[in-house]
Structure 1
Amino acid sequence: MDHFLDKSHGRFGFSANETPALKISPGTGETIGFETSDEVYAQLHEFRDMEKLTVGINPVTGPVYVEGAQPGDALAVTIHEIRLKDRGWSVSLPGSGALQHVMGQEMFTRRVPIDDDGVHVTSRHTFAPSPMIGCIGTAPAEGSNSTIMPSTPQGGNMDLVQCRPGSTVYLPVMVEGAYLSIGDIHAIMAEGESSFVAIEAEGIAVVSVDVVKGMALRAPRVETADEWIFVGLGNPVQESITRGYEDMFAFLVDGHGWDRGDAYAVMSAVGHSQLGGPTGSADPDPLHPFSAVGAVTIHRLPKAVLASGD
């Protein structure tokens, strides 16, 4: 890799008020390694007590200032590789996730070895790694966005399995330089992240960055080898679904010149929708900080329809 940011550059918010850890020129193909930290999970495993933590939850490494990025543009962040280390963590935080009621108020933690054989989730279950980036985003126009919840139009803790090697994540630019940060690597994670804390793992995400001028986005997008994925954010969930589908429709009609009726019919046939990560789209109740408000949804369009539709 051409540049490396170690985990000492971890921050607990997405903000343009932070001093950039690195400045780069876009579109050069140069790669940047973002090292993430699992220290909070190691401490939870040791202490089983949130009150004893000496570090914050879910830091992101950065920020990276991208020269030439201006409000109204988009960052195109291509994920080339995610290098895992030798361990991951399964943790149940009381009051979080879809399984909070069955797991109860006692904290559960498990150290998960990672080696050449795979990710050893139990003594009987070893899975092939499927690493992805849980938290990726740019700075808001003002203030700071959380690295935990909610997800925002600039990204954040979206927890999408599609943010994996081979994908390109498109993020809105709200401030000059964009201020890109990355954290929360997972060794493997089921879609929807039922546990709120999946198999978290320290690692290094290797990416390259470009700027797409004039690509004004109201929410992130992800391009995989086979699909375009549009992130919907809204409260209630139906608003999230509507916004994601509207962005897909505009992509076809405004971006690719499709007839409105063609876009409508094709989307009804192959434009799939599902829940994304569990972090919600609006600020949570301070008394229930891990209870999501609103929803993150994803809307998947096969790339194959573009070849036959343009």
Structure 2
Amino acid sequence: MAFICEAEGVRPDTVPGALHHLSAVPETVHWGYFDPSVAPVLKVKSGDLIRAEAVTHHAGDDPELMFDEKIARIFNEVPATDRYPGVHIMTGPIFIEDAQPGDILEVRYLSMVPRFRYGSNLAANWGYLYKEFGEKERVTIYELDPNTNTASALYAYDFPGKYLTPGTVTRCPECDRQPALAGVRVPVRPHLGTAGVAPDVTGRVSTIPPGLHGGNIDNWRIGAGAVMYYPVQVEGALFSIGDPHVSQGDGELSGTAIEASLNVLFQVIVRKDFSFRSPLLETPKNWIVHGFDEDLDVAMRQASMDMLSLLTEHRGLSANDAYSLMSVAADFGVTQVVDGRQGIHVRMPRDIFGPQTGVKK
């Protein structure tokens, strides 16, 4: 059996274009940032499909299990001095023809397949309970089982010192391995922690905080079968993917998910028929909007106002009706609390509106 990580089927209005392949190698990645001045590594048309590699920056937590020749090249050839201001390895950017500021880039994620059968979780210095654990950092290596679509802890070790350098390589054969989580199996749900378009700014924008361009949203629902709508900010959109995960809970409490490289198939479509302020997620069952801020209360208000906008402007409800519906049918949750700019998401069931798909003008 294979991992359950492919969409059940493409939407009926999908018209696939050309299929492109994008490997992650030193020449096709940018480490730790979005930047509109970065030259695109691939140019595509609206409707085209891209099969791309997304590499975890935590592959060095056990290089024997999570490296291959191409990943080793990235870690060895991208200078440590060029891995800033964020931490994530981003594949891209991809230039989409005819995408202009004010448009929406619709990204249909069709397949996410683990590259290896292993991933890493770090209880990090940026984790929510770091001080409560005596400022100790611990790595847990997980093994994936494609027959049960689960992950179980293979072993754990205490990280020596402080995990600060993006792409740190630990020689796990030399570390003190400890048993962990005996008898526990975690559902595997591959997704991208970080993806988005280039912001309209000068210079580098860190991949660590999420924002209106997308970025490090860390919502585990951005997997196969999901559709993301990103507000385009610069010509060509300049879309990149990274920070692949195979499992994560809402909150991402320790600072990381199960970080594991993925092979991702997705379709990009330029939408000029509607607009939306923030990254919008559509799953087979829900519409999900996001709010981001250093203060969770502010993020909650942003998510509330954007859901109100979705219901009034794109579903045709009055503001009063939308407000009532949000109180009785919407589920609010904490996406993550560890990326500096924290995240709230709010889910609205799609089936309560009847047989309608997609987002209206």
TM tier relative to shorter chain = 0.7 to 0.9
Tell me the distance in 2 between the aligned counterparts of 1:91 and 1:237. 23
Contact 1:72 1:215 in 2 (8 A): no
Note if 1:151 corresponds to 2:151: no
Which of 21, 32, 36 is matched with 1:4 structurally? 21
Equivalent residue, structure 2, for 1:15: 35
Tell me the distance in 2 between the aligned counterparts of 1:297 and 1:262. 22
Deviations 1:265-303 (A, max 9, x none): 1111112211112345xxxxxxxxxxx2x4211011111
Q: Secondary structure at the match of 1:192?
A: coil
Equivalent residue, structure 2, for 1:286: none
Which of 274, 290, 305 is matched with 1:246 structurally? 305
Note if 1:199 corresponds to 2:258: yes
Note if 1:88 corresponds to 2:119: yes
Equivalent residue, structure 1, for 2:55: 37
Equivalent residue, structure 1, for 2:45: 25
Contact 1:133 1:184 in 2 (8 A): yes
Deviations 1:29-76 (A, max 9, x none): x321221223x4243457xxxxx9965431111110011111111111
What is the TM-score with the length of structure 2 in the denominator? 0.74
Q: Secondary structure at the match of 2:210?
A: coil
Note if 1:257 corresponds to 2:288: no
Note if 1:296 corresponds to 2:343: yes
Contact 1:151 1:279 in 2 (8 A): no
Contact 1:272 1:300 in 2 (8 A): yes
Shift of 1:22: 0.7
Provide closer, same or farther for how the CA distance between residues 267 and 110 of structure 1 changes in structure 2, counting only shifts above 3 A. Answer: closer
Provide closer, same or farther for how the CA distance between residues 229 and 187 of structure 1 changes in structure 2, counting only shifts above 3 A. Answer: same
Equivalent residue, structure 2, for 1:120: 152
Query: Where in structure 1 are there 5+ consecutive unaligned residues?
Result: 47-51, 281-291
Provide closer, same or farther for how the CA distance between residues 308 and 34 of structure 1 changes in structure 2, counting only shifts above 3 A. Answer: closer
Provide closer, same or farther for how the CA distance between residues 45 and 308 of structure 1 changes in structure 2, counting only shifts above 3 A. Answer: closer
Equivalent residue, structure 1, for 2:107: 77
Percent identity reads: 28
Q: Secondary structure at the match of 2:320?
A: helix
Deviations 1:226-280 (A, max 9, x none): 1100111234222211111111111121222222221121111112211112345
| Aligned AA (1:34) | A
Shift of 1:103: 3.2
Q: Secondary structure at the match of 1:82?
A: strand
Query: Where in structure 2 are there 5+ consecutive unaligned residues?
Result: 1-17, 64-74, 154-180
| Aligned AA (1:234) | D
Contact 2:43 2:96 in 1 (8 A): yes
Shift of 1:110: 2.8
CA RMSD of the aligned region, Å? 2.3
Contact 1:159 1:278 in 2 (8 A): no
Equivalent residue, structure 2, for 1:188: 247
Shift of 1:106: 3.3
Q: Which moved more, 1:81-90 or 1:53-62?
A: 53-62
Deviations 1:144-182 (A, max 9, x none): 32112x111101111001101100011110001000000
Provide closer, same or farther for how the CA distance between residues 270 and 21 of structure 1 changes in structure 2, counting only shifts above 3 A. Answer: same
What is the TM-score with the length of structure 1 in the denominator? 0.85
Q: Secondary structure at the match of 1:263?
A: helix
Contact 1:145 1:152 in 2 (8 A): no
Q: Which moved more, 1:271-280 or 1:189-198?
A: 271-280
Q: Secondary structure at the match of 1:161?
A: coil
Tell me the distance in 1 between the aligned counterparts of 2:51 and 2:355. 37
Q: Secondary structure at the match of 2:211?
A: coil
Count of equivalent residues: 288
